[in-house]
Amino acid sequence: MTDDNNDRTEIVRELYDVIPFHRKHGIEIVIVTPRRAETKIPFDDSLVGNPELEVLHGGVISSIVDLTGAAVFAGRYGEYTPTIDLRVNYLQPAGKQPLYATATIEQQGQQIGVAHVEVESGDEVCATGTGVYKIINE
């Protein structure tokens, strides 16, 4: 539970809910605070990258890493935060269930922010990532 003054969820929902990719895939902004963001993408058969193993495509995982990492900064500043760099570590296959991602701020300067992201499929962490984002300070 967060203090109302620290809850940035609606700010990010207003920014993210109009993005066609997010709408098409049912991406949900669960909660955003000044130092943390959580998102969810529901499972859909169209996201499967290997039909023999029935596991999600790696691009789906990298997308949720990126948008969740950016969300924590978007919540702080009320604006989109362009991605400078993204690294994803695929630890194990993501199965036929929703993905949940959690981002926390690792480092932040005047112009650049770095977020660490963990992605869970079921009860297991299937990927981790680090996103570097341009901070828009106007």
What average pLDDT score do residues 59-86 get?
96
What average pLDDT score do residues 8-27 get?
95
Q: What value does the mean pLDDT of the chain take?
A: 93
Question: Would you state the pLDDT for residue 90?
Answer: 97
Question: Would you state the pLDDT for residue 1?
Answer: 40
Threshold 0.75, pTM exceeds: yes
Three-state SS string over 11-67 comes to HHHHHHCCCHHHHHHCCEEEEEECCEEEEEECCCHHHEEECCCCEECHHHHHHHHHH
Question: Would you state the pLDDT for residue 2?
Answer: 43
pLDDT beyond 60 at 122 = yes
| Domains recognised in the chain with CATH numbers | 4-134 (3.10.129.10)
